[in-house]
């Protein structure tokens, strides 16, 4: 296996650990994870009598999140997925998108931040947070990212900052 492929697999693994951490934060705060298909199904009817209730269908949780949720179309007109879409968070009637970017060593992830920031600002139908950590960004990248916060892009947090924010706001 080539050195580049080993690095790619390591990056995917550490990124998955970061996303698992966010998943744990959300479930710990009482959010229920749904799959994309389940989340995109029509809402069940609000009130049904017990006689006619479809007991096979579970009621939709008020506080939920979905991983790899199709949030819309990108600035290039292509399908756009967000790492997590959260519904039921106080103060976020249209939902909240969470983008998790972990970069432990130097690489190309920080080159993708302008694309991510522009998509959030111009294409996301709801506010978003970026959780960027790992210490491998190029010098200046974290400062630039934080400077992009406005409009739909609410903030750029480290993982520790997001944990503190989630404890106060979710």
| Cα 64–Cα 110–Cα 75 angle in degrees, nearest 5 | 65
Closest CA relative to residue 95, chosen from 76, 120, 117:
120
Q: What is the CATH number assigned to the segment(s) 3-37+59-169?
A: 3.40.1350
Residue-level pLDDT at 31 = 97
| Cα 30–Cα 83–Cα 90 angle in degrees, nearest 5 | 40
Please provide the size of the chain in residues: 170
Least confident stretch, 8-12, 91-95, 103-107, 123-127: 8-12
Q: Model's pTM, two decimal places? A: 0.82
The answer, yes or no, to whether residue 153 has pLDDT greater than 70, is yes
Residue-level pLDDT at 111 = 82
pLDDT per residue over 82-120, tens digit each?
A: 999 999 999 999 999 999 998 877 777 778 899 999 999
């Amino acid at each position: 296996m080539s050195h580049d492929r080993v690095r790619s697999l390591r990056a995917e693994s550490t990124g998955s650990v970061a996303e698992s951490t966010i998943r744990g934060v959300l479930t710990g705060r009482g959010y229920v994870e749904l799959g994309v298909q389940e989340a995109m199904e029509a809402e069940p009817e609000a009130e049904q009598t017990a006689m006619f209730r479809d007991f096979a269908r579970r009621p939709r949780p008020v506080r939920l999140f979905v991983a790899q949720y199709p949030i819309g179309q990108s600035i290039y007109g292509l399908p756009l997925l967000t790492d997590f879409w959260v519904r039921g968070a106080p103060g976020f009637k249209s939902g909240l998108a969470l983008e998790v970017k972990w970069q432990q060593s130097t690489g190309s992830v920080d080159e993708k931040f302008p694309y991510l920031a522009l998509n959030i600002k111009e294409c996301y139908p709801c506010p978003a947070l970026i959780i960027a950590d790992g210490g491998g960004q190029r010098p200046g990248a974290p400062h630039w990212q934080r400077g992009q916060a406005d409009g739909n892009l609410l903030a750029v947090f480290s993982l520790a900052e997001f944990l503190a924010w989630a404890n106060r706001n979710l």
